[in-house]
Structure 1
Amino acid sequence: MSVLARSVGNAFRNKVRTAAVVAVLAVAIGLALAMLVANQAVGAKVQELNASVGTVLTVNPAGGQGFEGGGEPLTAEQAATAAAVPNVTSVVGTSSLRLRNAAEAAAQTAAGTQAGPGGGQGGPAGQNATTLTTSLTAAVDAGTLGGRNQAANGTTGTTTAQPVRSLPITATGIGGEVDTTGKALTITQGTGLGDYTAESANALLGTTLAEKNNLTIGSTFTINDQTFTVAGLFDSGTTFGNNALYLTLPTAQTVAELPGELSSMIVTVDSMENLEAAKTALESALGTDKADVTQGQNLESAVSSLGSVKNISFIAFVAALGTAGLIILLIMVMLVRERRREIGVLKAIGAPNRTIGLQFVLEALVLVAMGSAVGAAVASFASGGIASALISTNTTTTAATTTGRGAAMAGAAGGAGMPGGGAGFPGGAGLPSGNPLGGASQLLTSVTASASPGVIAAGIAAVFGVAIIGALVPALLTARIRPIEVLRGE
């Protein structure tokens, strides 16, 4: 009988024990594979964040952050100056507008309602003071928070019955196919705007805004009586962010009658290592009295938290792998001790040590192969939940350590609903209540753990390596004993 056939037969000699061993191995191997999948997924997410938004700086007018901000708007000349700073790879200008539904604005005018700063409800700094009207209806109602903000701006509280209000629609003129955090726009239908540095009659709408107005690709709407065509739909991941639209930068400047003015600039640096140096150089080139340069502190917290998850998942993978190896070692020690007589007979008839060792290694690999098959199935279902649990735990920890900073930022911005970082833009630069990580938490929790064949194969290969060692050690130690000693012991 061949060594392979004898090894497979020995693996099923005691079916109850084999089933128990396979079940225990499946749990250990499944946990090891799930942790490896989570580790790979988090590592890929960290690389994605570092490559996309981890090297982004935001430039706002000095003093122009928040609804009550002041200062002077940025200009195209300042954008050219920023582009010339060492290590800066791109500069994307934005122009932020607030749009009011034309019928709603007319009703408010008839009721004698005064618009808030920035064209209703107080627009972000750098916006035009003239109300822009649109045929679109906002996808988000004002609600309690919006009513408070309007009251703070003097738009409610009169004896005249006030019409039901909705939030203004955010329109962002942008000079590249990125959102206002520097990430590539997630276009779900249609296409982009083509040349973002030229005027265009096309626009990108948030999915909820388009749904609210029953618009699809090719539909039209108006801003200040100028007709625009829906070229594409985007999804920012938030309800507020999807109540928005994008135009090309020159188009927004023309509509607002503010040529050359910018609300903010998105500056991309060539690497994270040069981020701090580029920030200092930008402040020097633009002047701290003219521009505020900020970097994603919240994103740094998110990346740091993801790094902790990556380390934890790797340690757990090694621990689970070691546990599987220990299980195999103990099982093989037991099997070798049970078969001392068999080993003695094999030695007596001339079987070399390598043949005896190979027999037990193959038997262990049969058990491991069955355990790996079950463990891979377990990992494919459990890896997502394990990754989510690890991320959720670390998010809570990071949030707890940054709550004080988040509260201070909210106070400085002027209270609930105030945008941070020249915000009010799609993509969520606002500071949601109770969420000190802000928009970065969405990036952090968007990790998807997928049990890819390559990762599973690498994990199983590691398990097999440990299994070979665990089976070979006791087999070779016993095989070195002389046959007469083994048989005498029996």
Structure 2
Amino acid sequence: MSVLARSVGNAFRNKVRSAAVVAVLAVAIGLALAMLVANQAVGAKVQELNASVGTVLTVNPAGGQGFEGGGEPLTPAQAARAAGVPNVTAVVGTKALRLRNATEAAAQTAAGQTGGPGGGFGGPGGQSATLTTSLTAAVDAGTLGNRNQETGTTGATGTTQPVRSLPITATGIGAEVDSTGKALELTEGTGLGDYTVSSTKALLGTTLAEKNNLAVGSTFTINSTTFTVAGLFDAGTAFGNNALYVTLPAAQALAELPDELSTMIVTVNSMENVDAAKSALQEALGSDKADVTQGQRNLETAVSSLDSVKNISFVAFVAALGTAGLIILLIMVMLVRERRREIGVLKAIGARNRTIGLQFVLEALVLVALGSAVGAAIASFASGGIASALVSSNTSTTAVAGRGAGVPGGTGFPGGGAGLPGGGVPGGGPLGGASQLLTSVTASASPGVIAAGIAAVFGVAIIGALVPALLTARIRPIEVLRGE
């Protein structure tokens, strides 16, 4: 009989004990794998935050924000200066537009009515005229929208102004990124290609496209220009999906302001350099020309909280792994003692120490393999809950510490948006947008992570089984047979 076959048979010699050992190992291994999955998920989220939201600065005209305030517009020359600041890796210029439904705008003009706060004929951001579109807004005005647009009030002509639809947010962008500097998440279609050249392609929010019965390849108009839908995106909010993107030169041409920018999104190479880069940007652009803000200033506290979760999950993984190794060690020591006579007989008939030791190691690995199979199933179900519990507890602590910080006023459209469709990073909570980003940690037991964890388990199991396997070398056949 081969060593492997004998090892498998010995593993099931006492079925009740083997089942108990496998059950205990499954719990330890399952916990270890779940902690490893949680560790990987939190680590990935930390990298995501460090590489995107936490390293993004927004530059607005000094005294202006979105469609409000005053001051002088930003220019491409300022964007070039910003790109030359140390530790700055990317500068993306934007041009914000507001679009009114063409039919509605024509009716208002015929009635001699001017636009209200929702988008008057003076044009947002210093535009020469209101831009019109064939699109209809995907969001109903509701109580807030009607209140903001002064719907129902008596105008200069003595007539009651009718209900008007909300404006549609359009943004010219110099790269395929959203307001946090992250790549746009397209649900259908493709991007706009070269975002630095004028194009008649556009990206629409999913609800805006649905409202207007548009799909990839459909067309619509802005003023007299026909645009083709190249792709659809999901910003995750109703406001964000009532929006569209075009290339920066296309938006500047529509606004008839070819050398103006509404905002600049500046990406810094690491969180550690954000403060220095912010100061350098402010100095390079001038405090009287530009306001530099960091929408997630308190994100460092949030990332620190996630780092704590990562460390806790790693310590728990090591502890569970060590527990599995200790179980194997104790079980195999017990088996060696039980089988002293068997080991002595094997040696007496010529079996070598190496062969006998290998038999015990393989027997231990059979038990570990069974425990790993069950443990992997446990981890696949438990890892998400464990990660959420760890993150929630630490996020709650961080939220209490950071209560009242919030996102400082927002950095884009009125109401605290970030200058792009979607309203930027969500604010309003103790951690601003960080709270939503922290609770969005998703732990999935990917095959790669599970395989790495099981490999570590087998490594520990081999070490745990080697010690009792080496004890077999100290058993002398003459002593065992003399005692019979």
Distance 2:98 2:195 in 1: 20
1:215 aligned residue: 214
Cα gap change, 1:103/1:346 in structure 2, threshold over 3 Å: closer, same or farther? same
Distance 1:164 1:327 in 2: 73
Cα gap change, 1:255/1:82 in structure 2, threshold over 3 Å: closer, same or farther? same
1:429 aligned residue: 424
1:73 aligned residue: 73
1:91 aligns with 2:87: no
C-alpha displacement at 1:69, in angstroms? 3.4
C-alpha displacement at 1:369, in angstroms? 0.9
Q: Which amino acid aligns with 2:461?
A: A
Distance 1:446 1:120 in 2: 39
User: Structure 1 residues 281-290 or 25-34, which shifts more?
Assistant: 25-34
C-alpha displacement at 1:330, in angstroms? 2.8
TM score, norm. by length of structure 1:
0.86
Q: Contact between 1:200 and 1:251, CA under 8 Å: does it hold in 2?
A: yes
Deviations 1:96-148 (A, max 9, x none): 11222234445666788764447269998x46384332221111223344345
Equivalent residue of 2:177, what SS? coil
Distance 1:327 1:430 in 2: 48
Q: Contact between 2:121 and 2:130, CA under 8 Å: does it hold in 1?
A: no
The within-5 A match list for 1:125-144 is: 126=125, 128=127, 130-144=129-143
The within-5 A match list for 1:24-423 is: 24-65=24-65, 68-105=68-105, 115-117=115-117, 119=119, 126=125, 128=127, 130-148=129-147, 150=148, 154-155=150-151, 163-295=162-294, 296-297=296-297, 299-349=299-349, 351-406=351-406, 409=408, 418-420=415-417, 423=418
Cα gap change, 1:163/1:440 in structure 2, threshold over 3 Å: closer, same or farther? farther
C-alpha displacement at 1:390, in angstroms? 3.2
Distance 1:437 1:319 in 2: 32
Q: Which amino acid aligns with 1:86?
A: P
Cα gap change, 1:440/1:224 in structure 2, threshold over 3 Å: closer, same or farther? farther
User: Structure 1 residues 445-454 or 21-30, which shifts more?
Assistant: 445-454
Q: Contact between 2:145 and 2:166, CA under 8 Å: does it hold in 1?
A: yes
Distance 2:290 2:132 in 1: 30
Q: Contact between 1:67 and 1:122, CA under 8 Å: does it hold in 2?
A: no
Q: Contact between 1:120 and 1:168, CA under 8 Å: does it hold in 2?
A: no
Percent of residue pairs bearing the same amino acid type: 82
Q: Which runs of 5+ in 1 are unaligned?
A: none
Cα gap change, 1:385/1:231 in structure 2, threshold over 3 Å: closer, same or farther? same
C-alpha displacement at 1:232, in angstroms? 1.8
The within-5 A match list for 1:440-455 is: 440-455=434-449
Paired positions, count: 480
| Superposition RMSD in Å | 3.4
Q: Contact between 2:153 and 2:160, CA under 8 Å: does it hold in 1?
A: no
Cα gap change, 1:221/1:424 in structure 2, threshold over 3 Å: closer, same or farther? same
Q: Which runs of 5+ in 2 are unaligned?
A: none
User: Structure 1 residues 20-29 or 283-292, which shifts more?
Assistant: 20-29
Deviations 1:240-274 (A, max 9, x none): 21111011212212222333121111123344444
Equivalent residue of 2:380, what SS? helix
Q: Contact between 1:343 and 1:479, CA under 8 Å: does it hold in 2?
A: no
Distance 1:316 1:190 in 2: 43
Distance 2:63 2:151 in 1: 25
Cα gap change, 1:388/1:212 in structure 2, threshold over 3 Å: closer, same or farther? farther
Cα gap change, 1:240/1:307 in structure 2, threshold over 3 Å: closer, same or farther? farther
Cα gap change, 1:482/1:195 in structure 2, threshold over 3 Å: closer, same or farther? closer
